[in-house]
């Protein structure tokens, strides 16, 4: 995988643009990768729910849970499904809306300086080998393209929003991406 610095896109990702993004604050370098876990409907894999959520196309009538998140405006830069297929929703130079209220090493507003990667899964389901492979390749490509990201600056949503978020959860194997720079 390789990042095109002109477009901010990963060459091996399917690009589906999300309207839920904006410019990063002027002069802000990308210095963090945040790993998340998501499934929509909850605990169900393989559907279109995540893409629909990130593109504001989620129909609240399709699942009772969707009514609880109706109108939610969120996104991530990348989504990796259970097969290891990568979809990009936001170019890396733009700010995706994935972290919410967050703090990393005494810095608030992690969306400003991070790249968000969602893995299809739940806190209590192991992620797949294909997902770890795609995640590792994506993180390596991102770090090569953005050398402002320290080698140990890959963390979980649970670490930047403790008490509020729990993903990617206890089944996430941090050792599987540490060789690409990631560390809890």
Burial per residue of 152-161, b for 16 or more beta-carbon CB atoms within 10 angstroms, e otherwise: ebbbbbbebb
What is the spatial distance between Cα 135 and Cα 35, in angstroms, rounded to a whole number?
9
| Total number of residues shown for the chain | 184
Residues 6 or more apart whose Cβ sits within 8 Å of residue 135: 35, 80, 117, 119, 176, 177
Q: Which is the catalytic residue, given 118, 120, 144, 158?
A: 118
Q: Is 70 an active-site residue?
A: no
16 close to 78: Cβ distance less than 8 angstroms = no
How far is the first Cα of the chain from the last one, in angstroms, to the nearest whole number?
Answer: 23
* Closest to 90 in 3D by CA, of 167, 34, 130: 34
User: Which amino acids are annotated catalytic?
Assistant: 118
């Amino acid at each position: 995988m390789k990042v095109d610095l002109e477009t901010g896109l990963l060459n091996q990702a399917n690009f589906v643009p999300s309207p839920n993004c904006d410019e990063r604050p002027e002069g802000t370098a990308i210095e963090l990768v945040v790993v998340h876990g998501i499934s929509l409907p909850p605990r169900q894999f393989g559907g279109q729910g995540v893409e629909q959520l990130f593109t504001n196309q989620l129909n609240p009538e399709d699942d009772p849970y969707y009514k609880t998140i109706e109108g939610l405006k969120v996104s991530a830069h990348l989504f990796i499904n259970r097969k290891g297929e990568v979809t990009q929703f936001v170019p890396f130079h733009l700010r995706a809306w994935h972290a919410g209220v967050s703090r990393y090493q005494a810095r608030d507003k992690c969306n400003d300086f991070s790249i968000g990667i969602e893995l299809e899964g739940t806190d209590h389901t192991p992620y797949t080998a294909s997902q770890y492979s795609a995640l590792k390749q994506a993180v390596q490509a991102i770090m090569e393209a953005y050398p402002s990201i320290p080698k140990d600056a890959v963390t979980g949503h649970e670490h930047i929003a403790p008490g509020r978020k729990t993903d990617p959860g206890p089944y996430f194997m941090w050792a599987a991406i540490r060789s690409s720079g990631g560390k809890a």
